[in-house]
Structure 1
Amino acid sequence: MRITQGTFSYLPDLSDAEITLQIAYALENDWPCSIEYTDDPHPRNDYWEMWGLPMFDLKDPAGVLLELNECRKTFPSHYIRLTAYDARYGRQTTALSFIVQRPAKEPGFRLTREESADRQVRYTLHAYAADRPEGERY
């Protein structure tokens, strides 16, 4: 199963050259970039761990790619995403976000159906990766 979160998630994984072009696009629009990682990509898990601070002062895509590669070295089997923020609205607004690294094996999710009173049906997603302790999921 392939996690589909963010821009480009239905496309094949982007190469470093394609990632660099997206970083350049974000920086040309004055969108600072941030790198985040997780081993629990549940759709409701919006808050991934940050790799350092958002790079407000970087204007060169090579600097962002350098930080991205350092994060990849440190977390080779985690999900890593790059997020670009648009501050024109006076608050943190995501302008672009996409996954730049995935684990070699993505175990997927289980959908649990629960029937309750008045014919209500509730569905819950459970990540198979979450069955293992944090740090050992992939």
Structure 2
Amino acid sequence: MMNNPTGRLTQGQFSFLPDLSDAEIARQVEYGLRQGYAWSLETTDDPHPRNTYWEMFGMPMFDLRDAAGVMLELADCRKTFPTHYIRLQAFDATRGVESIAMSFIVQRPAHEPGFRLARQEGPGRQQHYACVSAGADR
């Protein structure tokens, strides 16, 4: 993230590409459904790289057979959280555990505040650095 000149959050698949259209999102969801994945939506207003657990929107969608259900849930999520980051995650339960097979951001706020590098002076000449989200200043 620190070397990203555009300032866009780069987490998950497709993060260096332009935002996906709803038709492209639906095609990715269809692909995941063909693989047997279950989809879920998550939101956050603080996308720090160590913040891997975002807030889940609704329940995971285990029993869907087409992308329309996921797209309806995404539309509801966008209405509820118009200024948050929203990501879709596909879970693969074929091995008996739910592991994430696909994850990508489907909505970003109009202004992404980004991160800053904070330096802390320690005893002697020690210096510690931390990546601090601009949302932490609120």
TM-score of the superposed pair, with normalisation by structure 1: 0.90
Q: Deviations 1:21-52 (Å, cap 9, x if unpaired)? A: 00000000000000000001000001111111
State the Cα distance separating 1:102 from its structure 2 match. 0.2
In structure 2, C-alpha distance between the alignment counterparts of 1:109 and 1:29, rounded to whole Å: 36
In structure 1, C-alpha distance between the alignment counterparts of 2:126 and 2:96, rounded to whole Å: 41
Residues matched between the structures, number:
132
Q: How do 1:1-138 and structure 2 match up within 5 A?
A: 1-114=7-120, 116=122, 121-132=127-138
State the Cα distance separating 1:103 from its structure 2 match. 0.1
In structure 2, C-alpha distance between the alignment counterparts of 1:65 and 1:94, rounded to whole Å: 19
Q: Which amino acid aligns with 1:46?
A: T
Q: Deviations 1:68-99 (Å, cap 9, x if unpaired)? A: 01000110000000000011121121000000
State the Cα distance separating 1:113 from its structure 2 match. 2.9
Q: Deviations 1:96-135 (Å, cap 9, x if unpaired)? A: 0000000000011011234546876532111112211xxx
TM-score of the superposed pair, with normalisation by structure 2: 0.90
Gaps of at least 5 residues in structure 2 are 1-6
SS of the equivalent of 2:82 reads: coil
| Aligned residue number for residue 4 of structure 2 | none
SS of the equivalent of 2:24 reads: helix
**Percent identity of equivalent pairs:** 63
SS of the equivalent of 1:54 reads: strand
Task: Give the root-mean-square deviation of aligned CA atoms.
Answer: 1.4
Gaps of at least 5 residues in structure 1 are 133-138
State the Cα distance separating 1:7 from its structure 2 match. 0.3
Q: Deviations 1:48-67 (Å, cap 9, x if unpaired)? A: 11111100011110110000
SS of the equivalent of 2:118 reads: strand
Structure showing the higher strand proportion among its residues: 2
